[in-house]
Each structure stands twice: as C-alpha cells, then as structure tokens.
Chains A and B, each alone.
Chain A
Amino acid sequence: MPKLFTGAEIVFKALEDQKVDYIFGYPGGAVLPIYDELKNHKSIKHILARHEQGAGHAAEGYARSSGKPGILLVTSGPGATNAVTALTDAYMDSVPLVCISGQVPTHLIGTDAFQECDTTGITRPCTKHNWLVKDVNDLARVLHLAFEVATTGRPGPVLVDIPKDIQFKKGKYSFSKSTLKKKLNGRATHKTSNKELDKFIDLLKKSSKPIFYTGGGVINSGPQASEYLRELVSLTGFPITSTLQGLGAYPGDDPQFLGMLGMHGTFEANNAMHDCDLMINIGARFDDRITGKVDEFSPGSKKIHVDIDPSSIGKNIKVDLAIVSDVSKFLKSLIKRFKEKNKNFLSSNKQKTSKWWSTIEKWREKKSLNFINSNKIIKPQHAVQRLYELTKDKDTFVTTEVGQHQMWAAQHYKFNKPNRWMTSGGLGTMGYGLPAAIGVQIANPGKLVVDIAGEASVLMTMQEMSTAVQYNLPIKIFILNNEYMGMVRQWQELLHEKNYSESYTAALPDFVKLAESYGCVGIRAKTPDELDEKIKEMVNIDRPVIFDCLVDKAENCFPMIPSGKPHNQMILGPEEEEEISEEGKILV
C-alpha cells in the first residue's frame, strides 16, 4: 500500500518537486490546512503580502526577473477575486504564474456559502487553464500539470482551486512529468525546416530596407535568446527596434538600436517600421499600440513573424513567412544555417542597406526624445535620465507603474540585459510596479531594484511597502510626482479641451512622512540641483526608500502618435500640438 498524504501535504510535495523556493500569498479560512502545513517545509518560504493583488504582482515580478514560475497562494472568495487583476495582467503579458486558491468544502459548493465564489468560472478567461480539484487522488497530477501548462508554449497563469475538505483528505502522491503529451496547448508541434530557414535567409538577402522588430517573446525564451538575437543583428548589420516588453533583449545604447516603437516610440523606429521593405518580427504580437490602423501599417513591406503561439500569427497583421517556434531554438538554427552559406554578408551587403541607414540617420537627427529642460523645476524625463546615469553601472532592475512615467522610463532608461525591465504592458495595471519590485528583490537579493512610479499609480498598492519592510527588501520607489494622473491629464489636454475632469489628486499624502510611518526611508527632491545628490543618497541606503521627486506638473509625453493621424505622422513636441480630428477623440 502506498503511503497516503493529506491534500495539504500533497500541495507542498508537489511544490518541492517543482523546486519552488518562494510562495507569495495571504491566508484565510479556506486555505488554513495548507498554511498549517507550511511549517513542515523549510525549503519553501512564504512572503506575506498585504493584499492578494500585491501578492500576485510580486509573484509576477519574481517570475519575470528569474525566469521561473511565480507561485501565488490565496483563500476562497475575496482572496481569489482580489487575485484576478494580477492573473489577467500575467495572462496579457505571458508571465508564468501558478495560483493555488482555497475553496469552501465540496459539500458547500453551490450553496452561496461564506466566502464562496465560482473561482474557476471567474478566472477561466484570465488563465491558460484552471482546475477545481474534487478528488484528493487527482491533486498531485493536476498540480504538476498546472506547472507544465504555465511554463510551456507561450507562458501564462494557471489556477488550481482546492476545496478545504480535499486539503484534509488523504490520498496518493506521485510525480510524473509531461502529462500533456497528446494535447496541443498552443505549442509548436513541428521543427523548423531547412526550407523555412532558407526562405528566411533569402528574404534577408533581398531586402534593402530591413528592420528587426522584437518583443517579449525574446525575453520569455530565456537569456540565450537575447544572445542569439544580438549575434543575428550584428551578423546582418540591420537596424532593430523593440516593443515595450522586449526592452533589454538588445542593448539599449547600441548604435543599431533605434529605440522603442509604437505610440510613444521614437521617430526613427516608427518611420523605419512604416517605410521598411522587410519587417522581421521576432516574439512580438502586432499589438494595437504598435500597428495603429492596420490597413495603413507598413504598407510596402514583406513580413516575417516568429512566434511560439500559432494564434498570434496572422491575428492582427497578415505575414508573408510565418514561423511557429521558440525564439531561442529558431535563432540558433537560423544563425547556423546563415553562417554556413553567407560568409561575408555584413561587408558585402553594406552597400545595399547604406541608403536605408542614411535615411534612418536623418530621422534620428530629429532627436525625438529631446525635451526642454529647466534649471528651476525637475523635468520628469531629466529625472529618469539622471536615475539611469547614476545607476547604469550597477546591475539594476527596474519596474514601473502605468502612465507617463512608464513611457518616460521606457524611453530614457537604457537596458542592456534581459529580465531587468518589468512593466505592465498588455493590461496596463496601475499599482503593478511596487509589489512587482518586491518579487524582483526576492529573486535577486543584493541587487538594486527601482520602481519608477507615478504618485497616482503607487497609491493603488502602497500597502505593500509594509511587506517590503517586513522582509528587509531594500526596494526604491522613485515617484515622479506631478499630482496628476499624468497620462489622463495629457489626453484631456490634447483631446478634451483641457477639461481636467477628476485627474487631479487634491489630497495626496506626504510621501516622506508616509515612508517613515511604514518604517522605511523617505527622501524628497524639489529642484534639479539637488536631484543627483538625493538619488545617490537613495541608492546608497540599504533599506526600502520612497523617493518623492516633485516634477513639472504640465509635462506631456512625446513623441506621440495621436489618435486621428496616420502611423508615420508623429507629434514630436509641444510646439507641434495641433487639433485632433473628431473621430480621433473617440479612440483609446
């Protein structure tokens, strides 16, 4: 007779076999048996958040900075519903999360019991898959399957709902890998053929106006993928641009890098995307912030799309060569094949792309990220630039909230390594950055972790500062404080006749005193001349810091493709602001 374990023991045995070292969570009635079992498993540490959403974003930060799945443990009812924002965020940005939720005992399911909700029903559209475990003998299989689904193919969140009586019941435990075998799970089922590789190489060779357009898929494919990408870009000599999520896969300060593309991307990146004759999309998904109006998106180009998720290809933009593959595996075989037959490609092809490069240089001369600096008031872009200059020599990890500060961070902070940049791109979750920074710091002890924040966003999950203090996590919350929901204010200025409806926060807390009340350090910078010293002070403190950086309240984020304009017509700065069409105003 095999040894029997309680459901709660099975949970931990599975977590141990999956080599989990941290769980982010919050206890409650329906998960008490699991919390009771925690004491018997010393290799697994629990990080107690202050809200399940915070625990979820922390697990995301942990996953994105470490490449391992993040684990979330919550109770039934409100515990599960509070986790929904984080699960949806992870689903949109392809972050592997395993959420374990307690549920009311099986005999109470469906009776509107205390703290009961239809957790699997609520989370079905925001997870890759979820399970309600009604038999303790299914639990081990389901948990291991959950890890497999979360981490294979295009990664994403999964949820396992475990009723309280199942946590007490005794059952068998076994660990068998690869239970998915026969199922598709959105995985690539074929190996890339030489024919496909040759077609790819042929397109590269024929192009005189090429561009690489890379995204979060490169990061998700592991650090090796970034190495291959760098090799391919240097072998071809082609220009490269990146989506918000792809930043760091290619060095941000390299001359072949044109900066981020999209709504707030650089002039040169967006124009190169529009005018190119070959677009090589590696691990990006033609999101609407990138394409703008799809009918007018890069009209003259052949398009290659490499993606691990077959449903991403052809969803928004039709492509000429579709390759369903993991980025790392594909680039490895492509580079091998390319090198075999094209010994001196870089020098022999230089002539062909030289005109393209000089066009790009002309776009670059616009210096679209420039802003009018001031010596009286801190410009938010200046603050990010100074933060970058003063932290670039360290292996710094940056998270952000959502809004203007997020775009300024993406524009002015240059990333050189993958997994150093954690931002909520798909869902655009205000309040993401602070708890994410907690998860990043857990996964990367001793490293500098900065949340570039806005004062409105950060207040949404401010309670997690208490978590940072409890676990001695020296995260730095760098608030660009303009007292407005900046991006809302910007759109109201440009699109709604400066009717700043409800976008000003009239009663903000004193962030320095707030920091002190949490037991961490508060620093305030009011003028440009004290900024550098204060940033250095922040970096040197080995405790959590809230940095209240008072910035220009009226600054707008440029360049910008405004609604109502074609893709290659950007507003570069305040002097170019003009009327936006009536139709443009209704768009998001």
Chain B
Amino acid sequence: MAKSKSAYSVPGKIGKIERHIIVIWVDNEAGVLARIAGLFSGRGYNIESLAVAEVDKKKHISRITIVTEGTPQVIEQINLQLKKLVPVHKVADFKRTDKDILFRELALFKMLANSKKQEKIKKICKNFNPVVLDKSKKSFVIQVTALRADIDKLALDLKRYGLISTSRTGAVAMTKGAQIFS
C-alpha cells in the first residue's frame, strides 16, 4: 500500500514493544477485577497473565499482578489510567529485566508416566523447585515454580514424557532486599 498522506486517524510511528509487570493494590470489592480487565480490553491493551488474591484480610486489599506488552507510551497510559480508578490504592510498574525484582510463576503438570520415567522427569525439573503432589502407578502431578520462559520450555520438554495437562498461574512479583514497593 502506498504511504498514506491522510490527516486523520492514521496510526503514528509505533515504538518498541516492551513487556512490563504491573502490580496494583485495590480494594477487594465487587466488580473490581471487571474494572481493571475492562480498562485493558476497552482501551485495547493486552493482558498476558493475571494473578490476584487478597493480601490484607483486615483492610480488604487485593494485590493484582498483570503482565502486559506495549510501547512505552501505552505502558505509561496503562499506569496513569489505572491510577484514576477509584478502588486503586497504588500501582507499581516493572520490566522483566529489572535486576532487583523477583518474579515467579507456578505450574502444575500432570504426566502419564511409569516410575522409571517419573525419575527422569524429576531430573528435568530439578532446577525449578519440583514437588510431587500426587502419585499413582501410571501418573503423577508435579509442581514447579520458575520464570515464565523456563516453564514454557519445560512444558515443551515434558511433552514427549507424557504430559497430558498443564495448569499455570500468572506471574507474581516482589522486590529483593528490605525495601517494599511504594
């Protein structure tokens, strides 16, 4: 297509896409997740993964961790738009490459495997805190915690060892050292 000379609603130059992890503290009230998710879908932002649970039972504060992708301008908009929502207390924004932030995802794999195979599988998983949660003669369920990319790779590797079901959480994040997000 020829270069458009149009004056209206032509997309501008698209900046470099970055992956960010956004942590949001919200009042745990009815509809709060719909508000956050609706903001993302309504404005055309992308949610790669989502993890949410109440972290303060007394004050009813939930902590939501969203992995998203976008240009720096879009990421800035996501942050600013989130801060405008009434139930939102604070928002923190990180890149996957940030050195002083810890990220973890949890995955459960169900494998069809005899005990010989099971030992092999445990070896493959050994760097990712494997815990066997359930075991039978023909099958077992193993839990791992790791970074997203590691789990992606693991899931691929396990396919030929009889992987029949995968369940994964979204990423959660925490700072290293004594400081906390503010």
Contact = CB atoms under 8 A, between A and B. Distances in A.
Given A563-B8, A583-B4, A124 B31 contact: yes
Interface string A371-385: 000000000000000
A456 B34 CA distance: 38
Contacts of A153: 84
Nearest to A314: B76
B6 A587 contact: yes
Nearest to B81: A311
Contacts of B99: none
Interface string A305-319: 000011100110010
B178 interface: no
B34 A288 contact: no
Interface in B10-56: 10, 12-13, 30-31, 34-35, 38, 42
A292 interface: yes
A187 to B, nearest CB: 9
A562 B6 CA distance: 8
A513 interface: no
A343 interface: no
Contacts, number: 93
B12 A564 contact: no
A129 B38 CA distance: 13
A288 B9 CA distance: 7
A317 to B, nearest CB: 9
A125 B5 contact: no
Contacts of A293: 6-8, 10, 12
A445 interface: no
Contacts of A117: none
Given A183-B88, A184-B84, A310-B83, A564 B6 contact: yes
A133 to B, nearest CB: 11
B6 A583 contact: yes
A31 interface: no
Interface string A548-588: 00000000000001111111000000000000010110011
Interface string A169-196: 0000000000010111110000000000
Interface in A182-215: 182-186
A223 B78 CA distance: 33
Interface in B81-105: 81, 83-90
B77 interface: yes
A186 B8 CA distance: 28
Contacts of B13: 295
A315 B7 contact: no
Contacts of A410: none
Nearest to A292: B7
Contact of A583 (B5, B85, B89): B5
Interface of A (DSSP majority class): loop
A149 B84 CA distance: 10
Contact of A587 (B9, B77, B90): B9
A588 B81 contact: no
B4 to A, nearest CB: 4
Contacts of A587: 6, 8-10
A581 B6 CA distance: 8
A82 to B, nearest CB: 22
A129 B10 contact: no
Interface residues of B, number: 30
B5 A581 contact: yes
A584 B6 contact: yes
A128 interface: yes
B5 to A, nearest CB: 6
A48 interface: no
B80 interface: yes
B6 A288 contact: no
B84 A311 contact: yes
A430 interface: no
B89 A183 contact: yes
Contact of A182 (B2, B8, B89): B89
B30 to A, nearest CB: 7
Contacts of B34: 121, 124
A132 interface: yes
Q: Which of B4, B35, B83, B84 has the most CB of A within 10 A?
A: B84
A588 B9 CA distance: 7
B12 A295 contact: yes
A340 to B, nearest CB: 33
Interface string B142-174: 000000000000000000000000000000000
A503 B8 CA distance: 23
A581 to B, nearest CB: 6
A567 B88 CA distance: 39
A454 B83 CA distance: 40
29 contacts: A120-B31, A121-B34, A124-B35, A128-B84, A128-B86, A129-B85, A182-B89, A184-B84, A184-B90, A185-B84, A185-B86, A263-B8, A288-B8, A293-B10, A294-B12, A295-B10, A310-B80, A310-B83, A311-B84, A563-B6, A563-B7, A564-B6, A565-B7, A581-B6, A583-B1, A583-B6, A584-B6, A584-B7, A587-B8
Given A295-B10, A587-B9, 6 more contacts: A129-B85, A153-B84, A183-B86, A183-B89, A583-B5, A588-B9
Interface of A: 120-121, 124-125, 128-129, 132, 149, 153, 180, 182-186, 263, 288, 292-296, 309-311, 314-315, 318, 561-567, 581, 583-584, 587-588
Across chains A and B, which 9 residue pairs bring their CB atoms closest together, nearest first?
A311-B80, A186-B84, A292-B7, A129-B86, A294-B12, A583-B4, A587-B8, A184-B83, A295-B12
